[in-house]
Amino acid sequence: MPRTFTRQCPHCTRQATWPDTPTYPFCSERCQLIDLGAWASGEYRVPCESTGDATDLAAIEMPEDTGEDEY
């Protein structure tokens, strides 16, 4: 007997069951695409603080292009 998992869709809170729902944990492709769009537009972000190290992207200096090949 296969095991099933049921949980609420993160977008609309309808029930989604795995493995019956191919877009699990979302209830539909529509909810899945809405969530993907939110990630792509920057609505979801992971908070972080600048460390001030040289690993900061703003602090990294790119070498100038001299037009000569280095090979």
Q: What is the pLDDT of residues 26-44, one digit of tens each?
A: 999 999 999 999 999 989 8
Q: Where are the domains of the chain?
A: 1-44
Q: What is the pLDDT of residues 45-62, one digit of tens each?
A: 888 887 666 555 555 566
The topology under which CATH files domain 1-44 is Erythroid Transcription Factor GATA-1; Chain A (3.30.50)
What integer pLDDT is reported at residue 71 of this predicted model?
57
70: helix, coil or strand? coil
Give the span between the Cα atoms of 45 and 42, in whole angstroms.
6
Contact of 11 with 31, CB cutoff 8 Å: yes
Report field, pTM of the whole predicted structure over 0.75: no
Q: What is the pLDDT of residues 11-31, one digit of tens each?
A: 999 999 998 889 999 999 999
